[in-house]
Amino acid sequence: MSEAATAISGKARWEHFPHAADVGLRGFGETMAEAFEQAALALTAVVTTADVRPAVLVDIDCEAPDVELLFVEWLNAVIYEMAVRKMLFSRFAVTIDGTCLHGTLWGEPVDVARHAPACEPKGATYTALKVAKDESSMWSAACIVDV
Amino acid sequence: MDPARFTRVDETTWRIEPHGPMRVPAIIYADENLIRDMDDKVYEQAVNVAMLPGIVQASYAMPDAHWGYGFPIGGVAAFDPEHGGVVSAGGVGFDISCGVRTMLAGIKVADILPVQKMLADSLFRQIPAGVGSTGAITLDTVEMDAMLFGGARWAVERGWGDACDLDRIEERGTMAGAMPERVSERARERQRREMGTLGSGNHYLEVQAIAEIFDTAVAEAYGLAEDDVVVTIHCGSRGLGHQIGTEFLKEMVIAASASGIALPDRELACAPIHSDVGQSYLGAMRAAVNCALANREILGHFARRIFAHFFPGQNLSLLFDVSHNTCKVEPHMVGGKRRHLFVHRKGATRAFGPGHESLPARLRPVGQPVLIGGSMGTASYILVGEISAEQKAFSSACHGAGRAMSRHAALKQWSGRKVQDELAAQGILIRSPSTRGIAEEAPGAYKDVGAVVAAAEHAGLARRVARLRPLICIKG
């Protein structure tokens, strides 16, 4: 598994960071929304590195008292859709208005033979939770996901 | 961690004196090597738990402790509702009532060997495991409520289990105080088609051989002899528990600040036991405990059916089923007084010693089986609870080996296919939908479970009865 993945804005990327029992996700982007999208790609990469076709579209909305809690809500909403629909997602479009988020997810049902899913995310946590903009105006969004 | 940061009480007891906002000391049970290998975060998290309102005696960490969210995994903490005590979703974990059951197969290793491969393939085909798997059982609203109330008893009544098992399951198979009405629609939806599924990650079904007996008398009482075959299942409350954990973690962050509880870290989210959120969580969490008990009973039933096909006339009989992610109300003697405490065990196993009132008659004279999962290539252990564990850590012991390295690092170090081949050469058959999952769970990614259980024994938490070696491992 590589540390970085697909580029969207040029600055957009994601990484996994080590945690003893679980796994850390971090998305980077030019906007907070883009960092959230990248973190969701990192979430899919916890499960599979195989190609996931963006065949089916799912819309989700969430809100929270602040942007860090919103980030956890977002990941948990994606985890919920993965679990209930038994799907994997490979494209994400996020818009954030204050502490309300609208997300569109594109993906396909899990194909065990092709995706060989490694493990199942149980939930996003408040551990190592950080949503921030650095001095070069780059956004990052990170937390530990329980697997 | 640097051992110099602790007051060393004895060889396996390491104490952090209360300082700053800590209400009680923090105590870690481990040998010096385990302490050195532990993440500094364990120290930090054990200290943070010691700051929570109503905590009694000490914040404890077991020999296999590692960095969790809020509470360390391997953390034990008891709270008194009459002294402002709290309940914490992070003190239980996402996989509510995750636990282990071990069943005696009534056959010897020599009986397995001729059919080992066919048995492995059959278990893998018939036990739903891994992401995207669906159980054969779908629950409607009425059945969902019945399951959330009834736990393993519900499974038995529906024909997915054996009434004889109930005596050998904690709470006799049904956790009292469940409030299915506090379980959200989303949590129910995540569980609707997941009964009788194993899950993924470190969850497994293993066929194991008794490789070594440490305590002949207790082994005999448990029905264990060298070269006997047992079946061990490790899993929990599946999507339902995960969703309840997720939802209450958030609710408790908001509730804690509304109750004026200053959290050293918001992942320590908690609510007073005597509060609406606290009571709602307890009701939902107990329903999730029932879900886990039902799930393991159903998986045990599936395993039984498959074994009956290969070994007609033999029956898998349950040794014990014990959870290691819970919060339970238990009577404990503190300062000479019997108090009812809310004991959180997160990655820690209840370990009642001989004579404990809650044990079934057959087990009471010897003590509770404490089931310790290792990694898929090494060993698992059966321990017995010690009376001294009551004073040491509210009758608690370790739960497993604990990871020595992250999934990320494991993936860089091992190839799943190679791990599988090497284990096969040692007579251990691994079946999993994902070779990457096998690499992430490689035996070398885990701590030495032998050192963990030896430390638990030295600390007086639980004593070794038997060591198990894997023959077949079905991984999700």
Block residue for tokens 């709470």: B171
> Measured between alpha carbons, how far is A139 from A8 in angstroms, rounded to an integer?
14
> Measured between alpha carbons, how far is B174 from B172 in angstroms, rounded to an integer?
6
Instruction: Average the pLDDT over each of A105-109, A129-133, B60-64, B436-440 and give the range with the smallest value.
Output: B436-440
Residues of chain B with pLDDT under 50: none
Which among A18, A126, A144 is the nearest to B408, CB-wise? A18
Which among A83, A120, A144 is the nearest to B201, CB-wise? A120
Ramachandran region of residue B395, left (φ > 0), alpha (ψ -120 to 50) or beta?
Answer: left
* CA-based torsion, B440, B445, B450, B451: positive or negative: negative
- Is residue A5 pLDDT above 70, yes or no? no
Indicate the class that CATH gives domain A13-146: alpha beta
Window 29-88 of A: residues touching B by CB (8 A cutoff) are 47, 49, 64-65, 69, 72-73, 76, 79-80, 83-84, 86
pLDDT of residue A4: 40
User: What residue in A sits closest to B439 (Cα-Cα)?
Assistant: A118
Task: State whether A83 and B239 contact (CB < 8 Å).
Answer: yes
Please check whether residue B70 touches A, CB under 8 A: yes
Task: State whether B200 and A123 contact (CB < 8 Å).
Answer: no
Instruction: Average the pLDDT over each of A7-21, A129-143, B164-178, B185-199 and give the range with the smallest value.
Output: A7-21
Task: State whether A21 and B68 contact (CB < 8 Å).
Answer: yes
* Residue type present at position B88: S
* CA-based torsion, B464, B467, B472, B476: positive or negative: positive
Block residue for tokens 């629609």: B185
Task: State whether B437 and A117 contact (CB < 8 Å).
Answer: yes
pLDDT of residue B201: 83
In 3D, which of B350, B330, B352, B349 has the Cα closest to residue B341? B330
User: What residue in B sits closest to A48 (Cα-Cα)?
Assistant: B436
Q: Give the ipTM of the model, two decimals please.
A: 0.89
- Selecting among B332, B399, B408, B458, the annotated active-site residue is B399
Q: State the nearest Cα–Cα gap between B208 and chain A, in angstroms.
A: 23
- Average pLDDT of A66-90? 96
Would you state the structure tokens that stand for residue B99, as one six-digit string?
A: 């636990």
Ramachandran region of residue A77, left (φ > 0), alpha (ψ -120 to 50) or beta?
Answer: alpha
Q: Which helix (H) or strand (E) holds B420?
A: helix B416-425
Please check whether residue B415 touches A, CB under 8 A: no
Q: State the nearest Cα–Cα gap between B223 and chain A, in angstroms.
A: 34
| Domain parsing of chain B, residue ranges | 3-404+446-475
The angle at the Cα of A137, spanning A135 to A142, to the nearest 5 degrees, equals 90
- Residue B75 phi/psi, 5° resolution? -95, 145
DSSP for residue A81: H
> Measured between alpha carbons, how far is B299 from B293 in angstroms, rounded to an integer?
10
Interface test with B, best of A71, A131, A146, A147 (most B CBs within 10 A): A146
pLDDT in tens, B339-351: 999 999 999 999 9
Please check whether residue A131 touches B, CB under 8 A: no
Transcribe B62-89 into DSSP letters.
EEEEE--SSSPEEEEEEE-GGGT-EE-G
pLDDT of residue A50: 95
Contact residues, chain B, for A22 at CB < 8 Å: 407
- To the query of whether residue B301 is one of the catalytic residues in this protein, the response is no
- Is residue A42 pLDDT above 80, yes or no? yes
Q: Which helix (H) or strand (E) holds B37?
A: helix B32-37
Task: State whether B250 and A127 contact (CB < 8 Å).
Answer: no
Task: State whether B200 and A118 contact (CB < 8 Å).
Answer: yes
Please check whether residue B385 touches A, CB under 8 A: no
SS (H, E, C) B87-111: ECHHHCCCCCCCEEEEEEEEEEHHH
Contact residues, chain A, for B73 at CB < 8 Å: 21
pLDDT of residue B317: 97
Window 282-341 of B: residues touching A by CB (8 A cutoff) are none
pLDDT of residue B4: 97
Task: State whether A124 and B246 contact (CB < 8 Å).
Answer: yes
Contact residues, chain B, for A69 at CB < 8 Å: 250, 253
Would you state the structure tokens that stand for residue B57, as one six-digit string?
A: 């005696």
- Is residue A79 pLDDT above 50, yes or no? yes
Task: State whether A118 and B242 contact (CB < 8 Å).
Answer: no
Task: State whether B408 and A69 contact (CB < 8 Å).
Answer: no
Is residue B353 within 8 Å of B326, Cβ to Cβ?
Answer: no
Which among B133, B408, B433 is the nearest to A23, CB-wise? B408
The percentage of chain A sitting over the pLDDT mark of 90, rounded to a whole number, equals 82
CATH code given to domain B3-404+446-475: 3.90.1860.10
| Domain parsing of chain A, residue ranges | 13-146
Contact residues, chain B, for A115 at CB < 8 Å: 131-132
Average pLDDT, chain A: 92
> Measured between alpha carbons, how far is B223 from B186 in angstroms, rounded to an integer?
42
Task: State whether B411 and A127 contact (CB < 8 Å).
Answer: no
